[in-house]
Chain A
């Protein structure tokens, strides 16, 4: 056997591809706020970030991130769904794929591109043609029965984020119960708790992303 002969059989040798990470979840669950927390944590670890935002008929989330001062505005691309948000992350993700390709071409140093879905319902899921990994964000304000409803977003996401744990006690939501039932219905796949106001759980979330999909530790 000749090692060189075998290695020349490679089918592709194109440029580095940034990891693509989907962020889905209901309206108001805190997806954009979570990205605003993730960016500085990732940047502090030397990880290069860009974001594709999806809104129904506006560029609201993109403008918010572009004006945040957390990220260069040209690293944020808006995509308008114009219809049900899940159609452009699952059934036909071509608009989002094109946006991510554009970011990757413009910024070849990128390590990760977040693709934030427009707010949707518990049935929302990402196509793996679009992302390498996806998280689903729910919040305690929506009630502590959400995991028991076993929506595909809850069950099938690579990572479930239970956000706004700070407001749980004020709306009668048992955060410990949410975590316990989420772990059960997800068959012990990762579930993390976050509070974006106090930056609780953000480090652990970045650690999880590095472990599962960014691989900047190896």
Chain B
């Protein structure tokens, strides 16, 4: 069990960039993949891609992010890697529908981003859960849920 209690630096910055490059040649860099949601957590258990069990215990003034170096020595390093955020994109039929879906999603406290005329909902659970909540708006044609091919 490895206890990781601080962010030492970031993979792209020196001296970590060079050190990680050297360690990688001998396969000594391990990655902890965490979701975007979990970057707000200061405490969690996790396992690296090479099976090392870790406990993360950060002080409250630190926050995980992609490339955060949590451990490094001549014996190896542990670096945070963010998993890709999945999104549900929505298009509204008209302005009234856009207002309605915006109000509805605000009430549900979903995380969103705007991309042109599309509203993107960050998926923090199964896609079907979100589609179930939006069922009435989709069935009445007020909004359209887009697939990745759209």
Contact = CB atoms under 8 A, between A and B. Distances in A.
B15 A5 contact: yes
B50 interface: no
Contacts of B58: 17
A10 B41 contact: no
A125 B109 contact: yes
A132 B43 contact: yes
B8 A6 contact: yes
Nearest to B20: A1
A159 interface: no
B22 to A, nearest CB: 6
Nearest to B1: A218
Interface size grouping (class) on chain B? 35 or more
Interface stretch (A37-45, A148-156, A167-175): A148-156
A90 interface: yes
B40 A212 contact: no
Contacts of A3: 72-74
Contacts of A2: 15
A14 B55 contact: no
A215 B43 contact: yes
Contact of A19 (B37, B43, B73, B126): B43
Interface of A: 1-3, 5-7, 9-15, 17, 19, 90, 123, 125, 127-129, 132-133, 150, 152, 155-156, 187, 211-213, 215, 218
Interface of B: 1, 3, 6-9, 15-16, 18-19, 22-23, 37, 40-45, 55, 57-62, 72-74, 108-109, 124-126, 129
